[in-house]
Amino acid sequence: MSEHILFLTGKLAEPSLRQVLAEMNPTEFTYEVQRLGINVAGLMTADFIARHVPSVRAERVLVPGRCRGDLAALGARLGVPVERGPDELKDLPQFFGRAARRADLSRHDVTIFAEVVDAPKLTLDELLGRARRLAADGADVIDLGCLPQTPYPHLEDSVRALHEAGLRVSVDSLDADELLRGGRAGADYLLSLTERTLDLVDRVAATPVLIPSQPGDLASLERAIDSMRQRGRAFLADPILDPIQFGFTRSLQRFADVRARFEDVPMLMGTGNVTELTDADSTGVTAVLLGIASELRVDAILTTQVSPHCRRAVREADWARRIMFAARAASSLPRGYTEALLTTHALAPFPYDAGEIAGFAAEVRDPNFRIQVAADGVHVYNRDGLHRATDPYDLFPKLGVEQDGAHAFYLGVELARAQIAWQLGRRYAQDEELDFGCAFERPPEDKRVHRAPGSTLQARRRPRAGTGT
């Protein structure tokens, strides 16, 4: 027997909601739509619903995504689950389409090593602060990057301090003595050993990361792998990913060759040579690299956050490893799981077209301004009319708020946000900060509490156009 769902909405959204639901037919559920006594559906609250919906005859109630208040308490009062739908009702098909195959993005199979490139120059407190931030972004191992010809007298203290903070540690150095010191201090991993320095593994318990003796010398890496297998020791192999225009494609082939010869050898890929050394948004680059890592079953990546455009590289890698794991597990394309890596453009930036917005505007009977964005620009409307432009300066003279400083300021902020969203192809929602995905991530909003009153509905009452009253 199919589920029966009650959709709650407001006056302005009711026609669109009914149209979207009709276009979804046939659905796996039956439904009814109830319009409450409110114009803007997103402004309804749990308390408002409780006052206007004393009882329901449905197995579930769906309210607008921006509905504020404690829905669990509301559901207990009504005796059925109450759930927030998507912020935009146009997303209802995707909302229900994903319900049956919603991915578990808690899973992944790639370990993230996050390098602190200037570790010798940091105090222990500075190092711990940076390490904790990296771990919060998704790093599994904190990599202490040693510097050439730079003493690191507190290396041992650094390893111990990170361990005491509950973090795994790797020591990354070209100096065999520093690697030995790090290993003896209890480092979990050592980066990087060649066949010439493999004797270090017989003196410490750390897991080594193996690299070729010379750039591109895959034969030496294979000999090091065979030697470690004979020892019965755990290790990671890193064929070394080179920068673009300096052997990048050949280095990818080396990773493929190692995987073809050694099906079960754990591998590490250093992504920083590409993300840091390419002037392109790191989100897309990271997504592609983690996709390659997923296909080749690379077990770990080493990334850095040095260049300003890579300041979220760890967080991006964390999202990418989860997306790629889910896609591989489902034998599907890495699409439809999350928009976390879409930092500039949105998949569906303009849910309403100009005609639909004009329909909303025709129903408005109050002086409060509504702002929406469509493919043709920014639309602002109230009872006195609808205006569209791509530049807020072209809109301002038509709004009549010259004598209302507070509201003029509010509209200036909101119209600027709307213009930016339109220019970038992002979604805009009035009174919501622009959210550019992984590169700018807001703390989760607690929708159980009500938003502080703002200027949205504080328009100073003005005479209707042409009435003189």
CATH of the domain at 246: 3.20.20.20
> Does residue 351 lie within any of the structural domains?
yes
pLDDT digits (tens, 9 = 90+) for 127-156: 999 999 999 999 999 999 999 989 999 999
291, 162: one domain: yes
Residue 224 lies in a domain: yes
Per-residue pLDDT for 77 more than 50? yes
Indicate whether 53 and 155 sit together in one domain.
no
Confidence category of residue 442, pLDDT binned at 50, 70, 90: low
Q: 82 has which bridge partners?
A: 61
Alpha helix ranges (H) inside 165-271: 176-184, 218-231, 248-261
C-beta separation of 205 from 180 below 8 A? no
- Whether residue 105 is contained in a domain is answered as no
Per the structure, the count of domains in the chain is 3
Q: What is the mean pLDDT of the chain?
A: 90
pLDDT of residue 91: 85
What's the domain range around 121?
Answer: 111-329
- Taking the CA atoms of residue 199, residue 205, residue 209 and residue 215 in that order, the dihedral angle to the nearest 10 degrees is -20
Are 23 and 145 found together in one domain? no
> Whole-prediction pTM value?
0.80
In this prediction, residue 282 carries a pLDDT of 93
Task: Answer yes or no: do 366 and 308 share one domain.
Answer: no
Separation between Cα atoms, residue 43 and residue 10, nearest integer Å? 9
Tell me the DSSP string of 333-398. -S-SS--TT--S--SS--SS-HHHHHHHHHT--SS--EEEEETTEEEEEETTEEEEESSHHHHGGG
Percent of the chain clearing pLDDT 90 (strictly above): 72
Residues 28 and 58 in one domain: yes
Clarify whether residues 261 and 130 are in a common domain. Answer: yes
Domain final position from 281, 300, 329: 329
In which band, very low, low, confident or very high, does the pLDDT at 465 lie, cut at 50, 70 and 90? very low
Domain boundary (36, 64, 99) is at 99
- 323 and 186 housed in the same domain: yes
Q: Is residue 106 part of a domain?
A: no
Identify whether 343 is part of a domain.
yes
Domain boundary among 77, 99, 121: 99
Q: Clarify whether residues 281 and 402 are in a common domain.
A: no
At residue 443, the pLDDT reads: 67
In a domain, 104, yes or no: no
Buried b (16+ CB within 10 A) or exposed e, 352-382: bebebbeebbeebeebbbbbbbbeebbbbbb
Residue 306 covered by a domain: yes
Residues 355 and 455 in one domain: yes
pLDDT bucket at 104, cuts 50 / 70 / 90? confident
- Are residues 268 and 237 part of one domain? yes
Residues 310, 355: one domain? no
Structural domain includes residue 384: yes
Predicted pLDDT at 25: 83
Quick one: 350 and 305 in the same domain?
no
